[in-house]
Amino acid sequence: MPANGTKKETLRLDIIERSSSKYKNADVIIFNTGHWWTHEKTSKGKDYYQEGSHIYGELSVAEAFRRALTTWAKWVDANIDPKKTLVFFRGYSASHFRGGQWNSGGKCDKETEPIKNEHYLSSYPPKMSILENVMKGMKTRVSYLNITRMTDYRKDAHPSIYRKPNLTKEDRIAPDRFQDCSHWCLPGVPDSWNELLYAQLIIKQQHHNVKA
């Protein structure tokens, strides 16, 4: 609880949500996290992260993310039978706000082509490196669907201002309109993620048939 005694929402880093018991007998599980682990979305790390009864007065997003993933990895190793369940982890996708972030005037509505020069790609997200290091220490085999870099090229594939139908001229030029440059148009980029998943499922089934 914060010093002023008021109640505040916290995020537990040391436990898995109760619904996780439903995952244990699944044929396929696909995990994903990372996109909203940002300074702004986590109360700037102040009095937000909790382990046991302890609430951290301040903790960086990167360290909290590492601890949460470690909790996840331990749960998977202890509860999932890899002979029955295929486990995947999908990395998070890139966003393409230009001139600000989603809440500060960032835009992508005039993007019509993908990035073609790799020098203009973003640096590889540190959080994905944290994920990869955590997975290296796991006993359970987790197939990593690393879509982060492939989505970095597609600055042209976001809904931007077009989530609203029948845009007026004012809608198109409104400087205070929040543009969506992090989610994706459908059909579009997410279809490629599904193709990667389907390919992995086919490969694993073929390996299973060979062993049988």
pLDDT at 6: 62
First and final C-alpha spacing in the chain: 56
pLDDT at 177: 65
Instruction: Work out the mean pLDDT of the chain and round it to a whole number.
Output: 90
- Predicted confidence band of residue 65 (pLDDT cuts 50, 70, 90): very high
pLDDT at 51: 97
Whole-angstrom distance, CA of residue 110 vs CA of residue 9: 38
pTM summary value: 0.86
Q: Are 80 and 29 in contact (CB under 8 A)?
A: yes
Q: Which two tokens stand for residue 110?
A: 């005039």
Tens of pLDDT, residues 154-209: 999 999 988 877 777 776 666 556 789 999 999 999 999 999 999 999 998 887 77
Polymer length in residues for the chain: 212
Tens of pLDDT, residues 67-113: 999 999 999 999 999 999 999 999 999 999 998 887 788 889 889 99
